[in-house]
Every structure is written in C-alpha cells, then in structure tokens.
Amino acid sequence: MSRLVVVSNRTADPRKAAAGGLAVAVKESLQQTGGLWFGWSGKIHDESEHDAGYQDLRAQTVGNVTLATIDLSQRDYDTYYLGYSNDVLWPVFHYRLDLANFDVDFAAGYRRVNRLFAQKLMPLLKPDDLIWVHDYHLIPLAAELRAMGCRNRIGFFLHVPMPPLEIMAAVPEHEWLMRSLFAYDLVGFQSETDVTHFTHYVQSEAQAEQLSHDRLRAFNRTLRIGAYPIGIDVDEVVNLAQAKEGRDTFERMREEYSRRRLLLGVDRLDYSKGLPQRIHAFRELLAQYPENRSSATLIQIASPSREAVGAYDDLRRQMDSLCGAINGDYGELDWMPVRYIHRNVARKRLPGLYRASRVALVTPLRDGMNLVAKEFVAAQDPADPGMLVLSRFAGAAEQLKEALMVNPYDAHGTAQAIQRALSMPLEERIQRHEALMSRIRKHDVHWWSSSFLHALKHVEQDQGLDHNAKSGQSERDTRA
Ligand code: ADP
C-alpha cells in the first residue's frame, strides 16, 4: 500500500485532540496507512542569529505517523504567510479584492517558501508515496516538486472558495497560480460552484479542453477535478454533546437562559464571516418583532484570528462598537441583547453550547464550507432540535438545503428568517433536522478523505510531466 504524505502550512500533533476538521481528517487518513505530515513548525527563526541550521528539518514519530516540520525566517513569515497567503489570497479567494494588498515582495516570498518546502520534502519521498497538499498557502508546491523530478501522484485540496474569473484575474500572478494547479493529478474543491468557476477560468484564459465532466486538458497536462465537500466527525460531536463537559455546559446555559431564547454565532473573527451584518440583522429582528425584546439573546463567540493583519483590527473595533450600540439602545437592567465574547471556547464545551441554542446564525459573506453549521446540526437533540439559519454564500449551502437560507447582505430578510426559525413548530424542526443529519452523516469527514484519496490513487497519471506547469512565464509573474 502506498504511504500517504500530507503537506499543509501547519501540522498538528497526532497525540493531542485534533482542533478542527482538517486535523481530524488528516490524522485519521494518516493513521490508517502510516505516513508523513510535513509543514511549517509555527516557529520563526531570528535570522540575525546567523544560525545556518534554522531551516533544518525536525522530525518526530508518533505511532506510525512522522511529523516533519521546518521553521521560517521573519522575512518568509512576513511575505509568504502574513503577506501573500493572508493579505492577498485569503481576501481574493473570499471575493474581497478591496482588502487585498498586491505587494511584489509578497509574491516572491510565497514562491520562495513553496520552493523551500519542495526542497526539504523531496529527499523524504519514496517513489510510490501518495502526496496530498492542502490549501491556498501551497498552490505552486507540486510545480516546484515536478521541477525537481518528482513523479509521484500529487493531489491538492482547496479549503477556501474558488472565485469567479473576473475576481481571480485581478491577482497579478493569476495566470501562474492557475497554471501551477496543472502540475497536480487531482484538484479538489469544496463545492460544485467552485468547480464551475475553475473550469470557466481555464477554458477562457487558457483554452482548456474539457475531456469529460471531471477532466480538463491545458498546458500540455490532463488534470482531474471534483467537488469533495469537507465534513465533520459526526460521532465525535454527538458524543461530546453527551459527555460530561458537554452536558455541564448545556445544563448551565439552559438554566441561565431559562426565560430567554438563545441564538448562537461561533466564528473566527474574520471579515469573511459577516459578523457586522449579523449584528445588523439581529438589531433588525428586535426592531421588527418587538416580542423578542427582553427575550432573544445572541451569544456571539469570535475567536481571535490573524491579529497581525490590519483588516482584522478594523473588524474588531467595528464589532465592539456595534455590540455596544445594540446593548445600549435595547438593553434592560436584566437583559442584554448581545453577549459578544472575543475568545476561544474549549472544543469539549462547544457541542453543549450548540445544543442549548434555539437558533444558530451561520451567515458568512463567503465561506469555503463552514463546519460550525454542520457541528451545530450534529449536536442537537433530535427530539427538540434547534434551527440553522445559513448563508447562501457558505459552501455548506449546496448540501444543507433544509436550513433556513439567507442572503447575509439583506438585514431585513435575515431578520425574517431568524423570526421564522424562532417560531418554527416542533414537527417541522424535527423533519428538517432529520434531513440535515442524514446529509451530514453521508458526507462526513471520513467520506471526504477516503473519496479524495480513492480518486487520487486511481487517477490516470499523465505521463507528460514535462514541467510545463512551471514555465519561464511563472518566473516573470512572481518577479522572483
Ligand atoms: P474556518 O475554517 O474559516 O475557521 P469553519 O467553520 O469551517 O471555519 O471551522 C472552524 C472550526 O473551528 C470549527 O471546528 C469550530 O468548531 C472551531 N471554532 C470556530 N470558532 C471557534 C471558537 N470561537 N472557539 C472554539 N472553536 C471555534
């Protein structure tokens, strides 16, 4: 059996409880076959110390999984991570050209670190290893590996949305980035919409030929593509909701809010999540439906995220001010409409909190998938489930059709949907929950990793590995 090699920006210690869907899925697939997980250690080396060994590989084996990590220099961190990944690709892939900072040094740093990853990984590879690369930080990694002679099967999964051509084309290096994807054998996206955007891009910009529904030919290479919507570990969430911390949290919340109706938002504090728009919609709910005053309470948990990137500072200030205003305008001595908590909640407590809430507000302006939506559904009591209000712009909306779908830009419409969710009869809630649960179970995280890896294993490998995906054009495009 081939060994699995996973490459992602960060790795996670397989001995610790995995935080989030990606870590759970990767850990599970790695443990099945034994394998290698390669990425950045999260550490920054001080270049001024002139310690030549700073980019040395550190390897640690736990059971049948080896974790191999490298440190980055301050310059790499600033340009590759903060710069190109989080200040260019993250905003652009979430359709926010207005927030992107197209700095030539960022692009050069991105390319340099992808090459460094390839250089450090290449000596560790065996000929029949199956390589799975994750996310927007590492788009050109396969092209760099191919240039070094790597002929392994390499798959790529994009966790964020794929924007339409008109947005992608604004990135100065767009042609190089999209061409780089053709150095992979399989590229997976979160949704059919993403697949359509990518197909349209390469057909229009690179005269790609569509050989079949999942095969594209361009740049002298054939690429398999597909939608593999990421799922959750359903049983883990169900069990956590029943376990001690889950039950404690549930009971405490139920007692505390026995006379109220609890609404919940759980997000990273990120501009893609539509948090200010959500507060506006909640305000609209209180204005339009006064029966919710002194009753409906929104707990909004927003975990700190990428605080070194400027746009996040602005968002934090905006949220502080919106939440302060709604509490000042509508609050009573014994009731605050919004409880805004800028912190992480322990993973073991989240399912209990989900279960105690009548309604979840998952209203991103744009999201690759959104796992909170799926976790909320999985944590509900099937006999008295809470209702999910979901943005049509989350990748999850393609699957979770029985949620109440909203346009997060439309505060009035979102308020109406929240009101409907709050007053939905038990029978309808049960029916919708059953349907949602069966979709979440069918396409869970185990399905996601096994179906992607099955497709990668069986992809007909293009022998035209002439490294065209890494052309002279790319050098110019990234001004490396
Ligand atoms: P993203 O990957 O953009 O952060 P997702 O909703 O897909 O969004 O995944 C977020 C993961 O992180 C989920 O598993 C969720 O439970 C967890 N999470 C998000 N916000 C918090 C928070 N404030 N506290 C604890 N866990 C959180």
Take atom 15 of ligand 1 and give the residue whose Cα is closest: 372
Take atom 12 of ligand 1 and give the residue whose Cα is closest: 20
Q: How far apart are CA 421 and CA 264, in angstroms?
A: 12
Residue 453 token pair: 């890896």
CA-to-CA separations, 324 to 317, 327, 339, 391, in angstroms, rounded: 11, 5, 10, 25
Note the pLDDT of residue 476.
38
> 195 CA to middle of ligand 1, Å?
24
Note the pLDDT of residue 229.
97
Note the pLDDT of residue 480.
33
For the CA of 266, the nearest atom of ligand 1: 20
> 313 CA to middle of ligand 1, Å?
19
Among 137, 230, 267, 348, name the best residue to mutate to test ligand 1's pocket (greatest count of ligand atoms within 8 A of Cβ).
267
Q: What is the DSSP string of 427-468?
A: HHHHHHHHHHHHHHHHT-HHHHHHHHHHHHHHS---S----T
For the CA of 21, the nearest atom of ligand 1: 14
* pLDDT tens over the chain, length 480 residues: 789 999 999 988 766 655 566 777 788 788 877 899 999 999 998 765 555 555 689 999 988 899 999 999 999 999 999 999 999 999 999 999 999 999 999 999 999 999 999 999 999 999 999 999 999 999 999 999 999 999 999 999 999 999 999 999 999 999 999 999 999 999 999 999 999 999 999 999 999 999 999 999 999 999 999 999 999 999 999 999 999 999 999 999 999 999 999 999 999 999 999 999 999 999 999 999 999 999 999 999 999 888 777 778 889 999 999 999 999 999 999 999 999 999 989 999 999 999 999 999 999 999 999 999 999 999 999 999 999 999 999 999 999 999 999 999 999 999 999 999 999 999 999 999 999 999 999 999 999 999 999 999 999 876 555 444 444 344 434 433
Q: In whole angstroms, what separates CA 457 from the centre of its chain?
A: 24
Note the pLDDT of residue 12.
83
CA-to-CA separations, 412 to 283, 285, 434, in angstroms, rounded: 10, 8, 28
Note the pLDDT of residue 21.
61
Note the pLDDT of residue 307.
79
Take atom 8 of ligand 1 and give the residue whose Cα is closest: 370
Q: Are the beta carbons of 257 and 356 closer than 8 angstroms?
A: yes
The answer for residues whose C-beta is within 8 angstroms of residue 69's C-beta and 6 or more apart is 11, 38, 39, 40, 41, 42, 57, 58, 59
Residue 367: which of 422, 408, 319, 420 has the closest Cα? 408
> 208 CA to middle of ligand 1, Å?
36
Note the pLDDT of residue 45.
87
Among 22, 159, 268, name the best residue to mutate to test ligand 1's pocket (greatest count of ligand atoms within 8 A of Cβ).
268
Active site residues: 159, 367
Element (H, E) at 373: helix 371-379
- The region, left, alpha or beta by phi > 0 then psi within -120 to 50, assigned to residue 220 is left
Angle at 369 between CA 166 and CA 173, to 5 degrees: 35
Q: How far apart are CA 218 and CA 227, in angstroms?
A: 19
Note the pLDDT of residue 63.
86
> 334 CA to middle of ligand 1, Å?
30
Residue 85 token pair: 């990944």
For the CA of 369, the nearest atom of ligand 1: 7
Ligand 1-lining residues (CB < 6 angstroms): 20-21, 266-268, 301, 303, 344-345, 350, 369-372, 375
Q: Are the beta carbons of 44 and 73 closer than 8 angstroms?
A: yes
pTM beyond cutoff 0.75: yes
Element (H, E) at 476: helix 472-478
Residue 108 token pair: 């050069």
For the CA of 343, the nearest atom of ligand 1: 23
Q: How far apart are CA 282 and CA 292, in angstroms?
A: 10
